[in-house]
Structure 1
């Protein structure tokens, strides 16, 4: 079984039927004995930041569906530790959270760009041992997280590009139908 560490990318098996995670890619932010959490990278929510944060009335940055847990919470990943203090580095220059007042000022002054920050409503979470069991059952493929996948310019290509990153025999699953009984 692959090591599950902070910064791992979880790629949903092409036949995973759970509607919350069908063909998703999740960036694992925290994995420890007590449980794990991360954010779905390839599902935009139908809201933008200005709809959730009134102080950012002009911000049309998309909000992504982070997962089914605590959908009323707003989280963010960024790659700007030099101007956003308090974030936690997950891996290779990808930070989770930080000082939201600084983020607000940076957005209002047009200093931070959409490709430098991602907002998420809710998160994906697993209880103790649950994620390890799902990986053992092959519900998830894994690869190393990186800025290209986390801040991808097209969320519709994240699942395919994550599989391509694994390479080899796995690349063929990109072409598998969602429901093979319809073939």
Structure 2
């Protein structure tokens, strides 16, 4: 494979796990980087569905069918969210065009209840993915992650969790299109 141009991760970029990564927390994962700075990195795995629904995690939440994703292996007692569209709450941070991270949870629930925000345009996550100072850069140097600067915000919410990894690699074009078809276990090919 040809030498890849190293892309530095930043808030709003995607980390796509290399096809041979066998860490059970990150096999075929796509991680949205929410923070990357001198203190470390924070992200959310976009394509790992949990077995829980939001109303099973929180009392008085009327969203009975709202799925929850596993944002990563760190602090799985925390709840995070991203949403697509216009900024709906003061503390939300824009990561990409029309892609927002966090904010006031009560405001967002209220917007859902009023029909201003559709549940298919928001994702809730338990836990997160975190890296200490320099750890993510080291993993990128070791070819654990492919970094994509391009985020198709709408794709995050419309693609199935099982297909998101492949779709993003295919959309990156070139040699990444070939990686999208790499078998999970090449011995079974």
TM range (shorter): over 0.9
Q: TM-score, normalised by structure 2?
A: 0.90
Residue of 166, 175, 180 corresponding to 1:174: 180
Structure 1, unmatched stretches of 5+, are: none
d(CA) in 1 for partners of 2:87, 2:62: 25
Q: Secondary structure at the match of 1:171?
A: helix
The one-character-per-residue Cα deviations of 1:52-79 (angstroms, maximum 9, x if unpaired) are 1212134321101100000010000012
How many equivalent pairs are there? 183
Q: TM-score, normalised by structure 1?
A: 0.93
Residue of 121, 132, 138 corresponding to 1:116: 121
Residue of 138, 142, 145 corresponding to 1:137: 142
Residue of 14, 17, 22 corresponding to 2:19: 14
CA root-mean-square deviation: 1.5
d(CA) in 1 for partners of 2:178, 2:105: 42
d(CA) in 1 for partners of 2:88, 2:41: 28
Q: Check conservation: 1:56, 1:108, Cα contact below 8 A.
A: no
Residue of 163, 166, 181 corresponding to 1:157: 163
